Amino acid sequence: MVAAAPRALFERLPRLADLVPFTPLADGLPTAVEHVDDGLWVQRDDRTASVYGGNKVRKLEFVLPVARRRGGPVLTAGGIGSHHVLAAAIYARRAGLEAEAVVYPQPVTPDVRRTQAALASLEGVRVTRSPHRYAMPVTLAARLAALAPQRPYLLWPGASTPLGTLGYVSAGLELVAGFDGPEPDVVVAPLGSGGTTVGLALGLALGGWRRARVVGVRAADVVVTNRAVLQALESGTAAVLALGGWRPRRARWSVDARWFGPGYGAPTPEGDAATARAEGLGLQLEPTYTAKAFAAALELLAAGKRVVFVQTYAGTASDAFVSRKSPHGSSSC
């Protein structure tokens, strides 16, 4: 655990601090908002935490304390290269909890291999394979039943519960505070389980932005990620925020499904081109989420919009990967 640190959410809604579970895990907040090109800014959420950055740790700060109270293993699920599964396992182990994941196949890319290797290097993490992502809920239910005597905590895949989403409400507040200049037109984020998109949109409204819209670029199947799911998540999160004294109106977000390509985790030509362009700006992307979202951001930029891209991918700089390098400096995976 890192030393207690202020969070933008609690500074804005101090009453919430006594009402919602919270444990500090991220030592890199607030993240910088960098002006990387004409009309393009990047919120550097790759640097949320030195142990393992990216977007998941922001949500886990609000969800893991609940698992700790329960005390049993943390059970979650995702693709074989899921950043969520890796983040959950890393931070659960650091909290002294056992961790278990149900994983399903996805196209094997270098990022997937690296993420798998980092997960395999953790002790006290059990992995159960499900034959297909649509079979995952059944495998998960079976593991939950088997673990019942140990009081497991079912960590929702992606950690996008109303509590987890508070982490991105805080990120939205940080973005408003850290943005230099007039309000942008759009904030672009990859869309998986939805907490990042919905939380950001609520945070921007809470921070006082009246124009900017969050565009969630759908990178997961429509059956798991769609407007109805996001609307339900927004209602739940709004109810929690109301406890803190703020009753949000409908937040400004939309879903852009045009960049998904042939399937979950499958690289696309547009994503590959966006990854090459990002490299020139000093950004590392991966094909499943951030490459597709950055392709959407570049299209908006080309259309003359002022765009903030939220860099939700930890990249390879976190301790989770650096410590895996051999003495000769090459990665072990």
Interacting residue ranges for ligand PLP, rule: CB under 6 A: 54-55, 83-84, 158, 160, 190-197, 289-290, 312-313
Both tokens of residue 182?
């007039």
The CA-based dihedral angle spanning residues 151, 152, 154, 159, taken in that order and rounded to the nearest 10 degrees: 110
Measured from the CB atom, the residue of 41 and 253 that comes closer to ligand PLP is 253
In the complex, least distance from residue 131 CB atom to ligand PLP, rounded to whole angstroms:
21
Residue 181: which residues within 8 A CB-CB, separation 6 or more? none
Query: Is 119 within 8 Å of 129 (Cβ atoms)?
Result: no
In the complex, least distance from residue 309 CB atom to ligand PLP, rounded to whole angstroms:
11
In the complex, least distance from residue 136 CB atom to ligand PLP, rounded to whole angstroms:
14
In the complex, least distance from residue 145 CB atom to ligand PLP, rounded to whole angstroms:
25
- State the distance between the two ends of the chain, measured CA to CA, in whole angstroms: 27
In the complex, least distance from residue 71 CB atom to ligand PLP, rounded to whole angstroms:
26
SS3 325: strand
Measured from the CB atom, the residue of 206 and 255 that comes closer to ligand PLP is 255
The CB-nearest residue to ligand PLP is 192
Q: How many CB atoms lie within 10 A of CB 198?
A: 32
Measured from the CB atom, the residue of 191 and 278 that comes closer to ligand PLP is 191
In the complex, least distance from residue 163 CB atom to ligand PLP, rounded to whole angstroms:
13
Measured from the CB atom, the residue of 233 and 328 that comes closer to ligand PLP is 233
| Beta strand spans in the chain (E) | 33-37, 40-43, 74-79, 99-104, 125-129, 153-154, 186-191, 213-218, 253-256, 307-310
In one-letter notation, the amino acid at residue 49 is: A
Identify the residue whose tokens are 């090109």.
37
Measured from the CB atom, the residue of 128 and 284 that comes closer to ligand PLP is 284
Measured from the CB atom, the residue of 69 and 287 that comes closer to ligand PLP is 287
